Amino acid sequence: MTLSVWLSLLPASVLISFTPGAGAINTMTNSLNEGFRRSIWGIVGQQVALVIHIAIVAAGVGLVVANSPMLFDAIRYAGAAYLVYLGARMFLARPADGADDAAAPAGPAGEPALSMVRRGVWVNLLNPKAVVFFLAFTPQFIRPGAPLLPQYAAFTATIVVVDILVMWLFFAAAAKGFRRFTRSPRGAVVLNRVFGTLFVLVAVLLVLAE
């Protein structure tokens, strides 16, 4: 990948990462419930899903998904159902014991890192529109006449590093400002319901958007 191509990829990657979606909501939720530092585990899971999406496109499978309405809809509805499940669980969650403590999270504390990684993977992976997006986006930065592996490696590394920085240093950090609301049980419930509703709204958009 030439420097000029990479310099056009970098700002495009930043804009993509700043686009609000299920990944951003998941990151903010993790930051609220588990703390800023531990929210990195969910972000790691989301990056695993991004790598899988890019690999799917590189392997040509993305074209199959894009051209198969039945397969596309199956993945889309599964993703929407998963987001609704996460939203409902968040909406109905009750503050953990000691929620009046300034350091207490809004929901169940101490979620295992592996669980956060796994949820991050599914949140991003069950979105067929991401495959279609990368199917259209990736070829703009890949030159068929040059060795493909180094180009895909540079492309993937740029996308992943930028997304980690944006998710952790912007969305997770922004959620820290809401932590003061988790000092009271009422504030914790309100935040749970707000973020639970956001998950459901993203699910609805995923189903309705053409």
183, burial (CB in 10 Å: exposed 0-12, middle 13-18, buried 19+) = middle
Spatial CA neighbour of 84 closest among 36, 30, 123, 34: 123
Distance CA 44, CA 120 (A): 7
pLDDT in tens, the chain (210 residues): 788 888 888 888 888 888 778 888 899 989 988 888 999 999 999 999 999 999 988 888 767 776 778 877 787 788 788 778 878 887 887 765 444 333 334 444 578 999 999 999 998 888 777 777 888 788 778 887 788 888 899 999 999 999 999 999 999 998 877 776 666 667 667 777 877 787 788 778 767 765
pLDDT at 116: 93
pLDDT at 96: 56
Domains of the chain by residue range: 21-208
The pTM assigned to this predicted structure is 0.75
